[in-house]
Amino acid sequence: MSWSKVKQNLESFLCPALYGRVEYLATSYRYLPDKAGLCYIAVDKKNVLNMSDRTTTIKWYETEQGIKNDPDIEIPITNEEIEAVRKDTKGKVPEDRLKVIVRSRKISEYAKELLSAQSALSKSNFIVVANKFLSISIEESLESNDILLNILALVDRRVGKKRMLNMTEKMKLKHPVVQYFYELRLSTF
């Protein structure tokens, strides 16, 4: 499918409040067929996401330590996770230390997932991901680990207010660019 048709289909799924505010822009290289080109997602005429450029307004993480040291990241901890660590350590670790261990383990897993998603995004071909989005269900796009699929689903008109509000906890564990589009969509309600 040509880019103009893909763009038209994507824009037809935009929620009405974001129509005209969110734009999809893509370039390709006619004489370099092996080069994917560039993709931009602009909000209010500002380039918010450029898949191959780290100078966008969204924070990109370079290392696992960058994620671990970011004070903006909130990692929810459940009692079940604390109990699992308590069983692993056979009850020999103080209660306050259990929370530190659980948080440390979860943030390490989160960091690996986040860096993996970032590297996949910078290597992905926007048109391929957009075609995938158009062919799968909205639930699959929301549950995916692919940053771009998450963004396309969040600005989709098929995702209603109730579903958006129910995703608050999940969004805390997503990449900052996904969180940005989540907040953008919440601002439309």
Q: What is the pLDDT of residues 51-74, one digit of tens each?
A: 654 555 556 666 777 777 777 777
- At residue 136, the pLDDT reads 93
Pull the structure tokens for residue 97: 């230390």
Average pLDDT over residues 172-186: 87
Chain-centre distance of CA 53, in angstroms?
A: 16
**What phi and psi values does residue 46 have, to the nearest 5 degrees?**
-105, 135
Closest CA to 138 of 8, 23, 13: 13
Q: Which two tokens stand for residue 65?
A: 């330590």
**Residue 16 has what DSSP assignment?**
G
Q: How far apart are CA 101 and CA 177, in angstroms?
A: 28
Mind listing the pLDDT tens digit for each residue in 15-55?
999 988 998 887 666 555 555 556 778 889 888 877 654 55
User: Which pLDDT belongs to residue 183?
Assistant: 92
Closest Cα to residue 117, out of 163, 179, 182?
179
